[in-house]
Amino acid sequence: MIPRYSRPALQRIWSAEHRYASWLRVELAACEAMEEAGIVPAGTAASIAPRVKLRPGRIEEIEETTRHDVIAFLTHVEEQAGPPARWLHRGMTSSDVLDTAFALQLTEAVDEILRGIDALCSALRERAIEHRGTAIIGRTHGIHAEPTSLGLVFAGLYAALGRDRARLALARTGIAYGKISGAVGTFAHLDPAIERGALRRLGLEPEPVATQVVPRDRHAQLLCVLALTAASIERFALTVRHWQRTEVLEAEEPFEKGQKGSSAMPHKRNPILSENLCGLARIVRAAVAPALEDVALWHERDISHSSVERMIAPDATATLDFMLARACKLAQGLVVYPENIQRNLELTGGLVFSEGVLLALVDAGIGRQEAYVMVQRNAMRAWAGEGGFQELLEKDQEVIGALGAEKLRRCFDLGLALRHVDAILERVLSPEEA
C-alpha cells in the first residue's frame, strides 16, 4: 500500500491508529460479554472506554521492551484506564484479538471495495445504455470480425463486475468470522457464550472450529476474489488501451482541462490510466499465491502467515479499491469518437458482412461449397481494392440471380445484424439484476 495508489479511506483502515482501535473494540466487546456472563464486574468496559486515547507511538515504545505487540497494547491501555483494565483479555490469547480485529478491518475494506464496484457498475451501465445503438466493429484476434454494439461491450464489462460483486459479497460473509476461544481454540479458560456475545456485538460470526487462529482459507478466498475483480478491471482497461491506439482511436481516456500531452504533439494523449490499471492488476493478482501458501499452517498455528498478511492485506485491498475509483472515473469520462468508430467499421468495405451473404446463398438453395466460392471471389476483389464488397456482389450475376437485390441488401443491414442487442442488454440491465 503506497500513498500513490491508495485512497485515504483505505489508508485509514490500515493505519496503526485504526488497527489498535480495532483491538480495543474487540477487547471491550469481549469484556462486555464477560460482564454479561458475570465473570467480570458490570460496567468495566464502560468505565475503560472513555479513558483510553490510543497513541501508537507509545505502544511501539512499550513493544521495544515487551517484544510482543498485544502485551504492549494492553500495557498502554492499562496506563490510561487503570485497574479496571486488568479485567481485559481474561483467558484470551493474542490471536483472539488479532484475528477478530483483522476480520473487522477486512470487512471494512471490503465494504469500501463493494461501494467502488457499485459505482463502477453504475457508470458502465450508463455507458451501455448510452451506446446501445452505437454500432462498432467486433474484433477477434485483433482482426475485424462482425459488427457489434458499443453498448454491448460496456454491458459485458458491467456483467463481469456484477459477478465479481456477488463473489465479493460472499467472500465478505466468509471473512466476517472472529474467535474468542483461547490458545488452541478449545475455550479452555473461556466459554462459548462469551465468544457469541462478543462477536454479536462486533457483527461477526464465531469460527466453528478455530485453532489458535481463524483458518486462513477464508482469507485466501478473499484474496482470490480481489484478484478476479482486478482481472475484470484489467479487461476493461485493456479494451480502452486498444481503442485509444493512434490507428484505431475509437475512444480516449478523459483529459483534465489544461492537461498537456507529453510533448508538442496534440495526438500524444497516452492511455496512462488504463496502463496503470493493467499494471496494478498484476499486483493484486500476485497476492493470491502467498495467501494460498498461508493456508497450511503447522498444527494449531504457526506464525508464518502474519508477515505475509501485514503486507498483502493492505496492498491488495487498497490497490483494488484505488483501481475501482480510477476505473469508475475512466468509465464515466471516456471520450467516444463515433466518427472514428464508423470509419473503422467501414474499413474493409463491407467484408465483415460476408458470412451473412454466405448463409443467405445457402438458404437460397446454393450448395455450401459453391456459395463459398461465390462470396470468396468478390471478397478477394474487394480486398484487392477493385471496389466495395456489396457493390461487387450486386454486379455478380450469379449472386444477384440467386438472392435478388433485396435479400442481398439485407445482408448489409446493420440494424438487422444488431437486432438482438436490446434483448441481450435486457438480460443484464433489468432493474432486478442491476
Residues annotated as catalytic (active site), given as ranges: 141, 262
Rule CB under 8 A: is residue 15 a binding residue for a second copy? no
Question: Contacts with a second copy in 350-369 (CB under 8 A)?
Answer: 351-352, 354-359, 368
Rule CB under 8 A: is residue 372 a binding residue for a second copy? yes
Cα separation, 185 vs 179, whole angstroms = 8
- 63's enclosing H/E stretch is helix 56-66
Residue 22 or 378 with smaller CB distance to a second copy: 378
Rule CB under 8 A: is residue 6 a binding residue for a second copy? no
Residue 50 or 353 with smaller CB distance to a second copy: 353
Question: Contacts with a second copy in 324-353 (CB under 8 A)?
Answer: 344, 347-348, 351-352
Residue 29 or 277 with smaller CB distance to a second copy: 277
Q: Rounded to the nearest 10 degrees, what angle do helices 56-66 and 69-81 cross at?
A: 120
Neighbour tally for 181: CB within 10 Å: 28
Residue 266 or 401 with smaller CB distance to a second copy: 266
Question: Contacts with a second copy in 60-79 (CB under 8 A)?
Answer: 66-68
What the block records as the C-alpha cell of 235 is: 479487461
State the nearest-atom distance from the C-beta of 241 to a second copy, in Å. 6
Residue that the C-alpha cell 458502465 belongs to = 124
Question: Contacts with a second copy in 280-309 (CB under 8 A)?
Answer: 280-283, 285-290, 292-308
Residue 332 or 340 with smaller CB distance to a second copy: 340
- 147's enclosing H/E stretch is strand 143-149
Residue 50 or 289 with smaller CB distance to a second copy: 289
Question: Contacts with a second copy in 233-252 (CB under 8 A)?
Answer: 234-235, 237-239, 241-242, 244-248
State the nearest-atom distance from the C-beta of 331 to a second copy, in Å. 16
- Using CB under 8 A, pick the residue from 51, 310, 395, 409 that binds a second copy: 310
- Three-class SS state of 81: helix
Give, in order, the Cα–Cα distances in Å from 18 to each of 88, 109, 312: 19, 12, 17
| Residue window 189-218: x/- pattern of binding to a second copy, with contact defined by CB under 8 A | x-xx-------------x-xxxxx--x-xx
- Burial environment of residue 297 by CB neighbours within 10 A (0 to 12, 13 to 18, 19 or more): middle
Do 368 and 378 meet the contact criterion of CB atoms below 8 Å apart? no
- Three-class SS state of 136: strand
Question: Contacts with a second copy in 129-188 (CB under 8 A)?
Answer: 137-149, 152, 155-156, 158-160, 163-164, 167, 170, 174, 182-188
Please list, in sequence order, all residues whose beta carbon lies within 8 angstroms of the beta carbon of residue 250, skipping any fewer than 6 positions away.
Answer: 136, 243, 336, 337, 340, 341, 344
- Using CB under 8 A, pick the residue from 53, 264, 401, 431 that binds a second copy: 264
| 148: β partners | 136
Cα separation, 22 vs 13, whole angstroms = 10
Please list, in sequence order, all residues whose beta carbon lies within 8 angstroms of the beta carbon of residue 321, skipping any fewer than 6 positions away.
Answer: 6, 7, 9, 10, 109, 112, 113, 116
Question: Contacts with a second copy in 88-127 (CB under 8 A)?
Answer: 90-91, 94
